[in-house]
Structure 1
Amino acid sequence: MNAWLSQHRAALAMAFRRLWATPFNTLLSLLAIGIALTLPGFGYVVLDNLRDLGRNASGVQQISVFMTVEATRKDVGEIETRLRQFANGKWRFVAKEEALKRMQASEGMAEIVASLPRNPLPDAFIVEPTNTEPEALEVLRKELSGWPKVAHVQLDSAWVKRFDAFLKLGKLALTMLAGLFAAGLIAVTFNTIRLQVMAQAAEIEVARMIGATDTFIRRPFQYFGALQGLFGGLFAGALVLGGLRLLAGPVAELAALYGGSYGLKPPGAFEVGALAAVGALLGWVGAQLSVSLSLRKFD
């Protein structure tokens, strides 16, 4: 066990030395890997923020439950009891008197309201479900429609479905883009390792002559590819954070123009760590492919 750990420590140290031996080439490789990981990483963050924005937008995923005009306080109380037992989100009651006052306060509506013989508006409940998936919202709408003294249940399901379809399309496009850039990252690592193997061909020949196994020879190159991908992933995380910091001000100003407030949610430590881990894995794969194919030439 100690010998195995010593071999891995030595291979890791050798990989670090190779990284620092050619700082300019290392910097260029990290830049290429960082950019390759930044675009899908940034796209993931943008989709995540769009999903939160859609869920938090006022009235977007609310269900309005309108009672019949002749509904009594007892009928309203029964619906309140059902909603308390429902316990699947928040809700609030809008009395018909309050709705009439809001309508009267609207521009140009005061005279119209004053001319009405009685209040034509019904009592209503505004429900904000926890589960905002389009299918779940539609099921809930149908369930609420069957409750007693409920005249109409309003849900802009078409908007919700369009928004959900847009997010799914964006996720699919992002997955395809990530696959392309992952292949590019493997190609960058493959070419870098191939050049290293060619430059150290004589050393590899001598090592094999004195009994070194292919696993022993591959190990430093594998660590080199993994470290290169790891640092490239961390660099990509820094680029994503920097880009979001630059966009935070304009996005907040745009939200203020529409009467709201919204702040971009940056990726957390887990997301940055996942990006670095993906980079390390792809770097290891590229190194494994490159050195395995290159060693065949020494057979």
Structure 2
Amino acid sequence: MNRFLSQQFSALGNALSRLAAAPLNTMLSLLVIGMALTLPCAGWVVLDNLRGIIGGASGVQQISIFMAIDASKKDVAEIESRLRNAKSGKWRLVAKDDALKRLQASEGMSEIVASLPKNPLPDAFVVEPVDTQPESLERLAALFSAWPKVAHVQLDSAWVKRFDAFLRIGRLAITLLAGLLAGALVAVTFNTIRLQILAQAAVIEVAKLIGATDAFIRRPFLYFGALQGALGGLLAALLVALGGQLLGAPVAELVVLYGGTYDLLGLTARSIAGLTGIGALLGWLGAYLSVSIHLRAFA
């Protein structure tokens, strides 16, 4: 066991020394890997924030329940009870008297409202569902429509479906981009390891002659590829976080103009760990393929 750990630490130290021996080449490689991982990661973060921004904007992904004109306070209380039991999300009551006062306060509407013989506006409920998937919203709208003394339920389901389709297309496009860039990352590591193997061809030949196994020769290169990929993943997380910091204030100002508030979502500790792990795995894969192919020349 001690021998195994000693070999692992020796290979790790060898990989670290190789990274430190050529700082310029290392930085350029990390920059390429970091940018390759930044693009899909930033795309996922943008889509998550876009859903949050649109979902939090005024009037978006909400269901409005309009009561019948002749609905009594008892009928309104019944709907309140049903909404409370349904636990479908946040909701608020817009009383018809309050709605009339707001309308009267609008520019140019005071005289018109004063001339009305009675309040023509119904009591209404505005529901902000927890589940904003199009199918769930439509099921809720159908459920609300069946309740007593409900005259109309308003939901812009077509807009919600279009937005959901846009998000699905965005996720698919980012997934395809991530696949292409992952292949490019493996190719970059493959070529880097190939150059190192060619530069150390004489050392590898001597090691093979004195009985070194392929696993022993391969180990430092695998650690090098994994370390390079992991550091590239950390760089990608840093770039995404920096982009979020730069965009945070302008996005917040834009959301305020549309009557909402929103703080940009960033990468969580789990996301950063996952991004680092993906980078390490892709780097390891590129190194493994390169070493496995080129070691055959020394057989």
- TM-score, normalising length: structure 2: 0.96
Partner residue in 2 for 1:182:
182
Q: Could you say what the CA RMSD is over the residues aligned between the two structures, in angstroms?
A: 1.3
254-263 or 212-221: bigger deviation: 254-263
Q: Which moved more, 1:133-142 or 1:242-251?
A: 242-251
Residue 28 of structure 1 pairs with residue 28 of structure 2 = yes
Q: Structure 1: how far apart are the matches of 2:257 and 2:95? A: 30
Q: How far 1:142 sits from its partner (Å)?
A: 0.3
The Cα offsets for residues 131-151 of structure 1, whole Å up to 9 and x where unpaired, read as 111110000100110011111
Aligned residue for 1:63? 63
- How far, CA to CA, are the matches of 1:48 and 1:79 in structure 2? 33
Residue 266 (structure 1) shift: 2.1
State the shift of 1:253 in Å: 2.9
Structure 1, unaligned runs of 5 or more: none
Structure 1 residues 199-278: aligned runs within 5 Å:
199-278=199-278
Match of 1:136 in 2: 136
Deviation at 1:265, TM superposition (A): 2.1
In structure 2, the residue matched to 1:97 is 97
CA shift at 1:198, angstroms?
0.9
CA deviation profile, 1:106-154 (whole Å, cap 9, x unmatched):
1111111111111111111111111111110000100110011111001
- CA change 1:148–1:264 in 2 (3 A) is same
Indicate if the aligned counterparts of 2:68 and 2:151 stay in contact, CA closer than 8 A: yes
Cα contact 2:57–2:259 (8 A) shared by 1: no
Partner of 1:173: 173
Structure 1 CA distance for aligned equivalents of residues 290 and 48 of structure 2: 35
Counterpart residue number, 2:279:
279
- Whole-Å Cα distance in 1 between the matches of residues 44 and 130 of structure 2? 23
**Runs of 5+ in structure 2 lacking a partner?**
none
2:11 & 2:106 partners in 1: Cα distance?
A: 74
Task: Give the distance between the partners of 1:148 and 1:256, measured in 2 at CA.
Answer: 37
User: What residue is the counterpart of 1:10 in the other structure?
Assistant: 10
CA distance, structure 2, for counterparts of residue 124 and residue 27 of structure 1:
61
Match status 1:153 vs 2:147: no
- Find the counterpart in structure 1 of residue 76 from structure 2: 76
**Size of the alignment, in residue pairs?**
299
Identity %: 66
Alignment of 1:108-127 (within 5 A): 108-127=108-127
- Find the residue that maps to 1:64 and give its secondary structure: strand
CA deviation after TM superposition for structure 1 residue 268, in Å: 2.2
Q: What secondary structure sits across from 2:283 in the alignment? A: helix
One-letter amino acid of the structure 2 residue matched with residue 141 of structure 1: A
Q: Please give the alpha-carbon distance, in whole angstroms, between the structure 1 residues aligned to 2:77 and 2:116.
A: 27
Is the partner of 1:195 in helix, strand or coil?
helix
The whole-number CA distance in structure 2 between the counterparts of 1:132 and 1:120 is 31
Structure 2 letter corresponding to 1:163: F
